[in-house]
Every structure is written in structure tokens, then in C-alpha cells.
Chains A and B, each alone.
Chain A
Amino acid sequence: MENLSQGLAQGDPAAFAALYDACAHRVHHYLVVRLGSREDADDVLQETFVRLARNRKRLGAVDNLAAYVFTVARNEAARLARRSRSRRAGSAGQENLPLAEELFCEAGGDEVQAREAAESVAKALAGLETPLREIVELKVYAGLTFREIAEVTGLPQGTAATRYRAALAKMRTWLVKEQP
């Protein structure tokens, strides 16, 4: 990982390709959950990597690359969300939630049971408030530890863990209610 950091700091294209292969899919999924659109997630993922390339000298000193990439992606997503909000200023700011097919492979598949399960998970995720949904996404699908989630979100580690458990409880309640 240190070699990768050094390669990134020197602007080595192979190092950026390796970083992309290591975390782009997880970051993209996180961005779709946050932004509610695959097109926006594409743009923000590209902007994230461009920003990493622009500030590549700093990457040599980064301890946890994955957490750093997620932090940059989160900031870029927040920037895009601010721009979108100011564009539709005046109209009611309805949150954009992704469709199940945009989030999970099974949701667009032929297997009915798997598709319904994926749709239920997407709906349960959509039922959460944004801060809770973000933590579930980072923990379950991005595979970050609570320490890394705390680094990315700026929350204390204990708060992240508490919010995660609260989110799981809410989703469980929702799933039991919807699918008794």
C-alpha cells in the first residue's frame, strides 16, 4: 500500500489504475446511494479521481488510502449536492433516492426471489434518514471499519457505531412490517 501511495504521489498512471480497481466500485455505489443517480455518481467519481491527481503530492503521506478516497468523494458529492440545491432553489427540495436497479445487480435480474429481496433492501435503505443510510452504506457495502467511517464522516467512532445499530433496527422493523 505504501508503494501505491508513493506511485500516486509521483503521478504514476499505473498506480491510479490500481487505486481505481481497488476502490472505484465501492465508491461509486456509495455515491449512487448518496446522490440518487448513476450519472451524477459517474461525474463525481471522475471528479474525485481528478482531485486526487491534482493533489497527488499529499497522497504519499496518507495513512489510510481507502478512507481518504471516500472522504474526497464525500466532499465532492456534497459540492454537487450544494450546486444542485442552488439550481433548484425555490422549489421544494425533495431528496433524490436511487432505484433498486441502480443499486443492486439482482434487482435487474430474472430470478424473482433475489429481485424482490434486493428491492426490499433498496426500499429499506431509502426509508432511512441520510446520515443513517450513509453509515449503513459505508459499513456494509464499502466495507469500512467504524474507525474509517469516523474518519470519513467526521463523527466520533462510538456515534458511528450507535447510528449503525439504530439504522439496522429501523430497517429490521421496516422489513418485518412490509414482509411479515
Chain B
Amino acid sequence: MRADVNDSNDPQDEEMERILRQATPRGADAALRPRVLAAVARQVGAPARFRWERIYWPAVAAAILLGVLLNYWVAVEGKERLAQIMGPPAVSRRAAELAADIAAITDEATGRWALERLASCYRPRDPFAPSGMRAQHQ
């Protein structure tokens, strides 16, 4: 037995250890060695097992990204379908009034031109536009 830092120097403990060591431990039977080594050889020769835990977090990240992209696609698709059903987006009342004032002061063609320009600036509120742009459009 190897010397150890926590070994007791108590003669009674040493005597007890001597009694214990008098009994020879029975090890594994000789027939077990080839059985174990054959199992080891099979394991070493086996193809590496697929480890699910290696792809767990990348799979979760990919699923979240896919969810975000699908959500965006559904929103855009819904908006386009709504535009097809309802026609082009309405011009805000303020823009129409401003274009009418311009037409009254100048002429009909300038009024239409002003309405087209104002319509592109004063779109109704876009729920998907970033908040800064939304404020600018209003």
C-alpha cells in the first residue's frame, strides 16, 4: 500500500490493515479478459455514434431564425394580398387637401403632380415600418 498524507500512525489501525491485507482479493476470472477485450475491440471498430447534443443549440437557433423569417414573409405576403383586394393604398386626407389647394392656386396638372408626390410621402400608417420612419410618414 502506498504511503499517504492522511495515513494514521496509530498502531491499532496498522494492525487492522495488516489483518485485512492477509486476505488475498479474488480478482476477475481469466475467462473475462478475452470477453472484455473483444467488447473493447468491437467498440473501437464501431462507427462513431451520432451525438444529438452537438446539434441541439444550432438547431434551436435555426428554428428561431426560420420562425422570424416565416413571420416576416407572412406579413409581407398578407400586405400584398390586401393591396390586390383593396386597390392601391389610400391617400391621406391632409395630402388630398394640400393637393387641392395647389390645384386651385396653379392649375389641374400641377395639382395632380403635387397629389402624386404627396401620396408617396403621406402613406397611411405602415404597421411593419420602423418607428422612426413611421413618425416621419405621419
Q: Interface on A for B, CB 8 Å cutoff? A: 11, 13, 16-17, 20, 24-26, 28-29, 32, 38, 41-42, 45-46, 49-50, 52-54, 56, 101-107, 114, 117-118, 121-122, 136, 139-141, 143, 145-147, 157-158, 160-161, 165, 168-169, 171-172, 175
Q: Interface on B for A, CB 8 Å cutoff? A: 1-2, 4-8, 10, 12-13, 15-17, 19-29, 32-33, 35-37, 39-41, 43-44, 49
A45→B23 contact, CB < 8 A: no
B22→A46 contact, CB < 8 A: no
Distance (whole angstroms) from the CB of A146 to the closest CB of chain B = 4
Closest 5 CB pairs of A and B: A25-B27, A161-B6, A28-B28, A53-B43, A11-B44
A29→B25 contact, CB < 8 A: yes
What residues of chain B lie closer than 8 Å to A121, measured between beta carbons? 19-20, 22-23
Distance (whole angstroms) from the CB of B100 to the closest CB of chain A = 79
- How many A-B pairs with Cβ below 8 Å? 124
B28→A140 contact, CB < 8 A: no
A104→B20 contact, CB < 8 A: no
CA gap between A54 and B24 in the complex, in Å = 32
User: Do most interface residues of chain A lie in helix, strand or loop, or is the interface mixed?
Assistant: helix
CA gap between A134 and B79 in the complex, in Å = 71
B28→A45 contact, CB < 8 A: yes
CA gap between A166 and B7 in the complex, in Å = 13
